Chains A and B, each alone.
Chain A
Amino acid sequence: MSKWTISKSDVSGFLDELHKSYQVFAPLRREDILVLERVSDQDSVVLDFYNTKQAPKEVFFPRSEVLFSYRDGEVIPASLSDERRVVFGIRPCDARSSVLLDQVFDAADFQDPYYVNRRQNTLLIGLACNKPLSTCFCTTVGGGPFSTDGLDLLWTDLGDRYLVETITERGEVLTASSSLLRQATEEDTTAKAEIATAAEQMVSGPSTEGVKEKLDGMYEDPFWDEVHLKCLGCGVCTYLCPTCHCFDIVDEGRDGRGQRVRNWDTCQFSLFTHHTSGHNPRPTGKERMRQRMMHKFNYFVANFDDIACVGCGRCVRECPVNLDIRAVIESITQIGAG
């Protein structure tokens, strides 16, 4: 695949080029929060940042979406948009989350048309993490600050310019159509390699080795009695998580018309898996916290041979009670050790 550079002063021009053919999603500042949203003419894209507050899963799997509507007994399917999109400035951890989510929504035996349609129409342009946060732990869950999983292009900040590496055929096509890219030199790739090595060394976190097997035997462990106690039961961790993907389906109908809507759900809510009968197989925070950990580090691994965590650290930074998933993993590892 090819390597290019682009001067920082040409980035806005590159975005203008993209705008001609794509809807661009990129990091934008709203009040004091960095969001990943659709870029309009008035917006200035932020490229000097750690990571966006919310994960980009929303681009493919919106918080709320109408699956179909109905009126007077007639079903009206939701029209799948053929809008072509680019997510610009996505971090490698978040791009990896798309690869994980593909296994759920675009599996061999089942394809979710809404998700698949958006995924197929969207290119991911990644921005490597030269300066990972202290809360990042991507390298311990199979990723890295320069991981290319899920990306079409990887950009690396080299000071006055970016190195642009194509990862996929689609990325190749994108770079070929731009007039602002220059062939990268060996000096550029050497500079990137040095930055990447330094960045990878900055990332640390708990080892996840053997955690899946450990959890195999921990379903009834007293560990769960204590670990959840401080959890408030809100949805911050799961809603900001790039890989959490549970949803709830509701019918919103009145007077012979309505719609079926898919909304994000979270295992941390008391309503999660609450049966119509009144029975709830996960009646307390204990079962709900166990579900979150098991789903990420055991069930998902059993199903897809991958941990459903990309180590972005959002839940670590944003939990209102500092319930740090890294510490939970560490505690699990230490149970029965020594």
Chain B
Amino acid sequence: MSDLEQTLRETARRLLTEEQVDLVIGFGQGTLPLRTTPRFIRDPDQVDQLVWNLSCENNLSTYLKHTQGKVGIVAKGCDARSIVGEIVERQIPRENVVVIGVPCQGVIDRQAIEAELGEREVLEAQIAHGQVVLRGADFEEALAVREVLCDDCIVCHHKNPPLYDVLVGELAEDGGDVGEYPTVQKLESWSHDERWAYFSSEFSRCIRCYACREACPCCYCPECFVDQSQPSWIDRGDDLSDIIAFHLVRIYHVAGRCLDCGACARACPMHIDLRTLGRKLEKDVREMYEYESGMSLEATPPLSTFRQDDPQEFIK
């Protein structure tokens, strides 16, 4: 157990014992290698179940839309930004959440590891000294951590939670200004036809399980437009145009709010590229409105406001 884990557990214990919160949502040991699992703890005696490592991949803030009472929540940089968004968008009252901020070193991309190993099953994994050591029945392979982090974690600029009530661990150094949008630059270099072909191919794998939507802290509509029947905006079958309509509307609905935490892509069982479009919109919002979501409780989300003197240069 690391010192950080120890501090995390003590923090959770204190919050529960002092009745500052009714519930702590954190990460516990999962049942598979490189896997943690969300843990809901109400009993101070159970805080030893909490862990912290590079496999804490879920964005736990998505649970806040369903929880009651005062909640302590373990939050990486992007998770804390999601919480800020939920507060700003009045989905959760600030006073109901105690943010246990943990500076992030990135999370491991299990899909990338799977792709690297092919048909070799990892039975055991250890993360130490900048390496992930993977063991199977008849192999052992060490990969550099930086090569198996989620790609956007590598260029992440907000490893530290912008909002926290308790900070566990030392503040991390954020990345530089270079190469923040490699996937977006690739997308922008493509012709319309190339973009259409790429995303049609990606979305053609969609099975409409809606794991992306459910994992997303921004997706909190009481009734998603795809579930509405009067009127029915899109058909329920497997027509690609309906599937694309779902993904495009979803991504536009979270424009200016999505901060590219990657929860949607990690949840997708079909490994669909759900991040590139979101990141493109995140970049656009940043460039057009000088706004980054989830950074401040005071800033007004640009797509939620209207100004009489808006130049509206996009109207031709």
Interface residue ranges, A against B (CB under 8 Å): 30-33, 48-50, 53-54, 62-64, 131, 133-135, 226, 229-230, 232-236, 239-240, 248, 250, 252, 261, 263, 266, 269-271, 285, 316-318, 320-324, 326-327
Contact = CB atoms under 8 A, between A and B. Distances in A.
| Residues of B contacting A: mostly | loop
Contact of B32 (A131, A135, A236): A135
A-B complex: 6 closest residue pairs judged by Cβ atoms: A64-B237, A320-B267, A235-B209, A234-B211, A322-B37, A232-B214
Contacts of B232: 252
A242 to B, nearest CB: 14
A50 B119 contact: yes
Contacts of B205: 30-31, 33
B250 interface: no
B121 A234 contact: no
Interface of B: 30-32, 35-40, 58, 62-63, 66, 111, 114-115, 119, 121, 123, 137, 205, 207-211, 213-215, 227, 229, 232, 235-239, 266-267, 269-271
A234 B31 contact: no
B236 to A, nearest CB: 5
Given A234-B214, A236-B269, A321-B37, 7 more contacts: A33-B270, A48-B119, A53-B269, A230-B63, A232-B62, A235-B207, A285-B66
Contacts of A250: 229, 235-236
A50 B118 CA distance: 10
14 contacts: A33-B271, A64-B236, A131-B137, A229-B38, A234-B267, A239-B209, A240-B207, A248-B236, A250-B236, A252-B235, A263-B237, A270-B227, A324-B30, A324-B37
A32 B111 contact: yes
A5 to B, nearest CB: 23
Contacts of B111: 32
A178 B109 CA distance: 45
Nearest to A134: B123
| Residues of A contacting B: mostly | loop
Contacts, number: 114
Nearest to A66: B237
Contacts of A318: 269
Contacts of A31: 205, 271
Nearest to B23: A229
B247 to A, nearest CB: 15
A239 B114 CA distance: 21
B40 A233 contact: no
Nearest to B42: A226
A285 B37 CA distance: 17
Contact of A32 (B62, B114, B210, B213): B114
Nearest to A324: B31
A49 to B, nearest CB: 6
A280 to B, nearest CB: 12
Nearest to A62: B238
B305 to A, nearest CB: 31
B119 A232 contact: no
Contacts of B39: 230
Contacts of A239: 207-209
A275 to B, nearest CB: 12
A235 B211 contact: yes
Contacts of B63: 229-230
Q: Which of B36, B121, B207, B209 has the most chain A CB within a 10 Å cutoff?
A: B209
A234 B227 contact: no
A322 B235 contact: no
A64 B207 CA distance: 10
Contacts of B40: 226, 229-230
B236 A322 contact: no
Contacts of A64: 236-239
Contacts of A252: 232, 235-237
A269 B236 CA distance: 14
Nearest to A54: B207
Contacts of B208: 63, 235, 239
A234 B38 contact: no
A64 B37 CA distance: 32
A64 B238 CA distance: 6
A239 B123 CA distance: 25
Contact of A322 (B36, B229, B271): B36
